[in-house]
Amino acid sequence: MIRQISRLLPAQGPITAFVFLNTLEGLEHLPFDAGVEEGARLFGCQPYLDEDFYREQIKRGRISPDGLREALRDDLGDAGTTRVIQRTTRYELRLAMLTTRLRVGRASELRWFVAETNALNEFRAEAPAAKVQEILSETKRWALSAFAPPGERPSASFDAETEARLETVFAGLPERFGRTRMGQWTEATWVKFSLQSLWRMCRAGVEAIGVPYPETGLPPRLRDLLLRETQEDVDVFVHETLVRFCAAFTDQGFARWELPDREAGMFQAFCATYGQGFGPPDLLFQGLGAELVRVRAAGLTPLETIHESLDLLGVPESEWRERITAKLIALRGWAGLIHQMDVRSDRVARPVPKDSLIEFLALRLVLERVACLNLAKSRLGFSGSLADLRARLLVRYRDSRQADVEPCAFELYQLAQLFGWSAGELFELSTEEWQQLVREVDGFRPLDRQKILHHAYEAHFRTRALDAVALHGRSRSPGACSAVDPSGLTAPAFQAAFCIDSREESLRRYIEEVCPTAETLGVAGFFGIPIYFRGIAEANYSTLCPVVIRPKHWVTEEPIYTLEEQHQRRARTRQMIGTATHRLHVGSRGAAGAALLTMGVGVLASIPLVFRVLFPRLTARIRKRATNWVNAPNQTRLRIERVATEPGPAQSQIGFTVDEMATMSARTLRDMGLTTSFARIVLFFGHGSFCLNNPHKSAYDCGACSGSMGGANARTLAMMLNDPRVREKIAREGIVNIPATTHFVGALHNTCNDTFTYYDLDLLPQSHRDAFEAARLTMDKAAKLNAQERCRRFDSAALNLSPEAAHRHVDGRSEDLAQTRPEYGNSTNALAVVGRRERTRGLYLDRRSFLISYDPTQDDAEYTTLGRLLGAVVPVCEGINLQYYFSRVDSTGWGCGSKLPHNVTSLLGVMDGSASDMRMGLPWQGVDIHEPMRLLFVIESVPEAIEKIMGRNEQVRQIISNGWVQLALLSPTGDELLLYRKGQFEPYSLHAEHLPQVASSREWYRGVREHLEFCELTGATGTVSRP
């Protein structure tokens, strides 16, 4: 059971290898809406953004009214026409509740609001004038018959029962305004009377039938019950000790003293350490030592201790699952980390023993019950068993629970004004009708409203995006957009393959703008080569492939033979410097050494302090110059060819055989559809991000390389494909015929400062220099334009920077210690296009789209290529997208909150401030401009293909059919689109007639910081037409 629950815990291991997975991966078996709702319940987080945010978007036109209506109709189905009250349907009621900001709050707050504001004296500003008049005239008519002095009543009087009811509901109200002079009341008096009688009526009506108590979250834990009684939170004490101990247990070698008995496992180590005498004197932990000694002496395994603790806490077996879930989730960061260190022990330097999560739980339960017992004893004077305590408190808790009338009544009161329901009309409703009314109002919970608003929010973007793709296909003239000559006679100027990452979208666009004859491709950033890689000046292997794959091959970087000696010498120097730095680092935190240090040279520290903070770029340049003489030689080779038969980390086992190389590289080429029309120069760009002061740096690196830099994969692939033996083998098997004139170059794109590193240029044939030089010029130009576009998103960069200034700006960001937003990563991602680049070439996609190259015309009848692609791309992109989604909708709950108080712990992750749960997810500074939406996949394929693939791949099926991503299909032969909804493909009809057209990207985004619509780039000077 614990193992099942552990699937709910965050799957983030050490932060140095940031993992992009769906935050709620454990709930993917549920449809999206149900899944997030369940997640919200379990984790106590927000599943969507709050209603006010969406209403603001309605105002700004980001949610269209039509879209909202459609989303609501979609949700209601046929039930929309159900009558709530005679003249209002459920659809109308819900629409009003969606669009209007009703004041809600706790009863006490509303009582204050009613008493202290004009809520009962003036109609709401949004109430339509006609409805106000309706209420006024209706109230007048009704009040004159109900309250006028007997002689003046126009019609027959009411029966005795009604009279009595009138008296109780409206007691004293007419008198307040002068009952006897009712006929002469002014209009203003009538307004007040109408509203106040309406309020009385709403309250009385709701009171008469009662409101069901909202069942939210899990049933209360003993801690919650005690918190209610004593205002003291056991979790505070338990967590303080537990966090400290978890940090000590998981520590990767930061502390000078390590935890004694760490190898014996968490529970044993704790028992040994805390079981001795003279322990912590905290009142709440009295008797803890004795208890630990007892548990230890009894020889209980951690699992048995859990059983024992649950029994002692009085938790019935039926509640175990919920209870254990709650307890693990209360400190989910640490629990998740410990679990990951156990199951993915290959990802940490010092893994933890098996089943540490169980020990963690056992420990937690022991601490909790000791603390609860002590708290009950000291504050409640209770000395019985915990089970007894829990039973008693639970009774008390249930007794004291009652829902207040005001929240529901006040909501009703506000709605009545919008719909023109008057007090008289409501007064005449029967009990059943009241029940129906309250059910309707109360039953449309905030969560339901958020859901529909969110769907409308997504729908708006979906419409724009699909329109753009379809319209672009219609208007595109084949020659302008495709670099590849359809006849296949002239090859493109050069080809450049990038990661599918949404950050590369703009760079690719600029390459095509600068050099219209260049062709770009998109492929997952590990280029189909999963490896463990160690660079020349690196100590450890890093894992360069998606997190779900375990690589089988090792690759290392070595200096070229002539520089071997220099390399050894420099490595020794570096080692000396490194050792000295390490001594300094550790020593500066001690007592004696640090005293000497600070007294002697401490003041000198002000020099780097001032310079690094005030002139980051200059300092970085000086530092680079100064360290140049010890750096590893820059002429290196990768060792990729294996001598031994089996791959492994030993020197002879490193690399691949020629056969393996041929298989892997041919597969990658086929996946991206690069099988014909090879250019003379083909560039492969891995990517990574260089930045400082950023524990989350790895979240900016390549997601397809488990948060590392993908340069080595690109370089390996290029080396393989340049090998004549590999080419020959591929050609012989009839897969791809690479012309002898083609040369491949691996490179790395630094996404933070937009620079490139090209590898193995010394191997570039003389004949290819010109072609490469031209390509490099294009790349440099495109990089500057790319930096310029990126700068529009940074508030601290001016909007009118020139490309050069922008390039300097992003470079400064990467070197700045104080910069919390070195770049925005995959923020704003919302779209993923799987298909030929021609379908999107010339479309401004605002860095929001993953672009995956796939040529449907080259695929077989079983759609093997597409299946392989989707099998990797769907989970990866969905993971990235949903990680951003959740970190944005509830930054403190799912994400890791603001970066500012983060504190690096155990060399594994970050805590907030001095001690807190391990914080998982993305920081606010990385997601603040993100629009949380489910990813919209546009795949150039046919329904049959998708169905086949979903049948073959369970994970893909689950993600798509449960709606964790949205899916549309673009016909490979035309420009029609099919939208996948509720398990079916429906034809998509266009909403827009034409796309705005501009000459260049710059023209479109100039002066704008916000998200932009998609548009078409004509490449020629045209008129700018914004919608």
Partner 1 sequence: MHDLLVTWLGVIVVAAPTVQVLILGGCALAGLALPERVIGRLVQTCMFTGLGASLGMLALMLTFGTRMEILSLGNWVDIPEYHFMLRFEFDRLSIPFALLTFALCGTVGAFANRYMHREPGYARFFCVYALFVFGMIIATLAGSIETLFAGWEMVGLSSALLVAFFHERPSPARNGLRVWSVYRVSDAALLLASIALHHVVGSGDFGHILENRSWPDGHAASAITPQLAFLVGLLLLLSAMGKSALVPFSGWLPRAMEGPTPSSAVFYGALSVHLGAFLLLRFSPLLDVSPGLAITTTVIGVATTVLASLAGRVQTDIKSALSFASMAQVGLIVAEIGLGLRYFALVHILGHACYRTLQFLRAPTLLHDYSLIENAMGQRVRNSQGSFDASRVRPGLSRWLYRFSLERGYLDALLTDYIVRPMLGLFRTCERWERQWTALLSGRRIESPRPDLPTGPEDFR
Among 145, 903, 958, 961, binds partner 1 (CB under 8 A): 903
Closer by beta carbon to partner 1, 215 or else 399: 399
CA distance 284 to 371: 5
The yes or no reply on residue 713 touching partner 1 (CB under 8 A) is no
Q: Number of C-alpha atoms within 13 angstroms, CB side, residue 1026?
A: 7
Among 281, 299, 479, 488, binds partner 1 (CB under 8 A): 281
CA dist 992 → 66, 749, 936 (Å): 14, 37, 18
Residue list 298-357, contact with partner 1 (CB under 8 A): 349
Check: CB of residue 745 under 8 Å from CB of residue 751. Answer: no
Count Cβ atoms below 10 Å from residue 553 Cβ, excluding itself.
Answer: 22
The yes or no reply on residue 904 touching partner 1 (CB under 8 A) is yes
Coil, strand, or helix at residue 920?
Answer: coil
Closer by beta carbon to partner 1, 179 or else 1011: 1011
Closer by beta carbon to partner 1, 96 or else 272: 272
CA distance 463 to 465: 5
The yes or no reply on residue 795 touching partner 1 (CB under 8 A) is yes
Nearest to 717 by CA among 699, 706, 732, 705: 705
Q: Choose the binding region for partner 1 from 275-283, 665-673, 846-854, 960-968 (rule: CB under 8 A).
A: 275-283
Among 108, 490, 693, 989, binds partner 1 (CB under 8 A): 693
Closer by beta carbon to partner 1, 260 or else 765: 260
The yes or no reply on residue 757 touching partner 1 (CB under 8 A) is no
Closer by beta carbon to partner 1, 168 or else 400: 400
The yes or no reply on residue 626 touching partner 1 (CB under 8 A) is no
Residue list 671-690, contact with partner 1 (CB under 8 A): none
What character string, x for contact with partner 1 (CB under 8 A) and - otherwise, covers 362-381? --------------x--xxx
For the sheet with 843-844, list strands across it: 843-844, 1015-1017, 997-998
Q: Number of C-alpha atoms within 13 angstroms, CB side, residue 811?
A: 16
Burial of 906 (0-12, 13-18, 19+ CB in 10 A): buried
CA distance 406 to 409: 5
CA distance 397 to 115: 30
The yes or no reply on residue 649 touching partner 1 (CB under 8 A) is no
Closer by beta carbon to partner 1, 913 or else 1027: 913
Among 155, 430, 540, 628, binds partner 1 (CB under 8 A): 540
CA distance 1013 to 830: 12
Residue list 425-484, contact with partner 1 (CB under 8 A): none
Least CB distance to partner 1 at residue 244 (A): 6
Residue list 16-75, contact with partner 1 (CB under 8 A): 16
Closer by beta carbon to partner 1, 156 or else 604: 604
CA distance 962 to 831: 18
CA distance 635 to 61: 55
Least CB distance to partner 1 at residue 651 (A): 15
DSSP secondary structure string for all residues of 584-623: HHHHTTSSHHHHHHHHHHGGGGHHHHHHHHH-HHHHHHHH
Check: CB of residue 746 under 8 Å from CB of residue 716. Answer: yes
The yes or no reply on residue 264 touching partner 1 (CB under 8 A) is no
Residue list 214-253, contact with partner 1 (CB under 8 A): 229, 236, 244-245, 247-248, 251, 253
Least CB distance to partner 1 at residue 692 (A): 6
Least CB distance to partner 1 at residue 675 (A): 39
CA distance 269 to 279: 15
The yes or no reply on residue 287 touching partner 1 (CB under 8 A) is no
Closer by beta carbon to partner 1, 298 or else 614: 614
Q: Number of C-alpha atoms within 13 angstroms, CB side, residue 149?
A: 8
Among 88, 374, 786, 819, binds partner 1 (CB under 8 A): 819
DSSP code, position 656: B
Among 549, 560, 761, 817, binds partner 1 (CB under 8 A): 817
Residues in contact with partner 1, counted by CB under 8 A, come to a total of 108
The yes or no reply on residue 617 touching partner 1 (CB under 8 A) is no
The yes or no reply on residue 606 touching partner 1 (CB under 8 A) is yes
What SS3 string covers 533-583? Answer: EECCCCCCCEEECCCCCCCCEEEEEEECHHHHHHHHHHHHHHHHHHHHHHH
Q: For residue 777, give both structure tokens.
A: 């010029």
Least CB distance to partner 1 at residue 591 (A): 4
CA distance 424 to 448: 31
Least CB distance to partner 1 at residue 971 (A): 43
Residue list 981-1000, contact with partner 1 (CB under 8 A): none
Q: Number of C-alpha atoms within 13 angstroms, CB side, residue 767?
A: 5
CA distance 513 to 437: 60
What character string, x for contact with partner 1 (CB under 8 A) and - otherwise, covers 543-582? ----------------------------x--xx-xxx-xx
Residue list 114-173, contact with partner 1 (CB under 8 A): none
Among 100, 137, 189, 898, binds partner 1 (CB under 8 A): 898
Check: CB of residue 526 under 8 Å from CB of residue 709. Answer: no
Nearest to 884 by CA among 911, 924, 845, 918: 924
Among 54, 274, 494, 884, binds partner 1 (CB under 8 A): 274
Count Cβ atoms below 10 Å from residue 551 Cβ, excluding itself.
Answer: 19
The yes or no reply on residue 620 touching partner 1 (CB under 8 A) is no
H/E stretch holding 745 reads strand 743-750
The yes or no reply on residue 278 touching partner 1 (CB under 8 A) is yes
Least CB distance to partner 1 at residue 292 (A): 12
DSSP lists the bridge partners of residue 967 as: 937
What character string, x for contact with partner 1 (CB under 8 A) and - otherwise, covers 910-949? -xxxxxx--------x--x---------------------
Q: Choose the binding region for partner 1 from 123-131, 254-262, 430-438, 655-663 (rule: CB under 8 A).
A: 254-262
Q: Choose the binding region for partner 1 from 4-12, 278-286, 433-441, 617-625 (rule: CB under 8 A).
A: 278-286
Closer by beta carbon to partner 1, 283 or else 290: 283
Least CB distance to partner 1 at residue 108 (A): 12
Among 263, 282, 862, 1010, binds partner 1 (CB under 8 A): 282
Among 137, 675, 741, 820, binds partner 1 (CB under 8 A): 820
CA distance 241 to 764: 60
Coil, strand, or helix at residue 868?
Answer: helix
Residue list 387-406, contact with partner 1 (CB under 8 A): 389, 392, 396, 399-400
Closer by beta carbon to partner 1, 487 or else 914: 914
CA dist 59 → 62, 127, 287, 463, 571 (Å): 8, 17, 60, 18, 62
Least CB distance to partner 1 at residue 715 (A): 18
φ, ψ (nearest 5 deg) of residue 939: -115, 130
Closer by beta carbon to partner 1, 79 or else 650: 650
The yes or no reply on residue 659 touching partner 1 (CB under 8 A) is no
Least CB distance to partner 1 at residue 213 (A): 16
The yes or no reply on residue 102 touching partner 1 (CB under 8 A) is no
What character string, x for contact with partner 1 (CB under 8 A) and - otherwise, covers 177-216? ----------------------------------------
- Interaxial angle between packed helices 222-230 and 234-250, expressed in degrees from 0 to 180 and rounded to the nearest 10: 130
